Amino acid sequence: MSTEPNAPATTPADPETPEPPRGHPVSFVRRGSRLQGRRREAWAELAGDYLIEVPRVSADTSVDPDYRFDAAGAFGRHAPLVVEVGSGLGEAITHAAELNPDRNFLALEVYRPGLAQTMLRISQKGLTNVRVAQVNAPEALAGMLGPASLSELWVYFPDPWHKVRHRKRRLVKESFVELAARVLEPGGLFRLATDWSDYAVQMRSVLNASPMFANLHAGERTGEMSPLTQVWESGVESVVGGAPVRKGKDPVSTGNTGINEGTDTLGGWAPRFEDRPLTSFENKALEAGRMVFDLTYRRTGLPTG
């Protein structure tokens, strides 16, 4: 675990510029990692208790390919492990950890302020079953986490990367699904949520195409009951972030934003996961009029890798 609160943070001048290249696009940009006020204090005071010290190879979110996370050592016990990718300010994972003291939880996040806030929440709630790590999630799933070591994997509201030229940076794609299959135990659950319909369709498509996953709600919420149909019919995504699209510009979220664009006959949308609280991020999406799409898949077959 790390106790270095003043480690230098990478803050590119261009907020659209990702970290130094790793040979493949990353799913995030570094919008600033400076710690201030209480979060700076939290990093100094709490990192030694909750932050996993991950060996690096280049960037400060990279993972040495030889490093293996020792869950029993980190938590001081053997228990089912739940990992959240992109844990943000820690609202979801600390809420779930409080409800499920018999499970271990690991928050993976690239932004130091988010990790500092998560550690504050852990401390304030008196939780002993949560740890955090500043890592690029695909690298963590590729080697840091052992095969079949997770009972659940969560990806809630990943960056949608609206622009077509940026979509290669989306996290949930075929290669990430393969990594998810590697770390989930047989029968383990992969839970996802997004508030953008075209990303929801992409998630559903790549997971439905994988022989390693089965949709727990296949065939459910089709037609008029589908949130996808409702988005298409309402045209709600003709606004971005709740603000009207600038005159002469097309919506960047999806091509299916007009009234009566179609009916979703496939469905497969899960009910909202009851252990996920209404986070500040999700609440902003709802206030902007967007709908939330939930998906839940079960890992099938034997572990890989």
Annotated binding site for substrate: 163, 195, 279-282
pTM of the full structure: 0.83
**What local confidence, expressed as pLDDT, does residue 305 receive?**
58
pLDDT tens per residue across span 125-148: 999 999 999 999 999 999 999 999
Give the torsion sign (CA, 96, 97, 99, 104). Answer: positive
Confidence label for 271 from pLDDT (cuts 50, 70 and 90)? very high
Which residues form the catalytic set?
A: 159
Confidence label for 53 from pLDDT (cuts 50, 70 and 90)? very high
pLDDT tens per residue across span 82-120: 999 999 999 999 999 999 999 999 999 999 999 999 999
Residues in a beta bridge with 239: 244
- Domains assigned to the chain: 37-222+268-299 (3.40.50.150)
pLDDT tens per residue across span 173-219: 999 999 999 999 999 999 999 999 989 999 999 999 999 999 999 99
Burial grade of 162 (CB within 10 A; 0-12, 13-18, 19 or more): middle
Annotated binding site for S-adenosyl-L-methionine: 84, 109, 136, 159
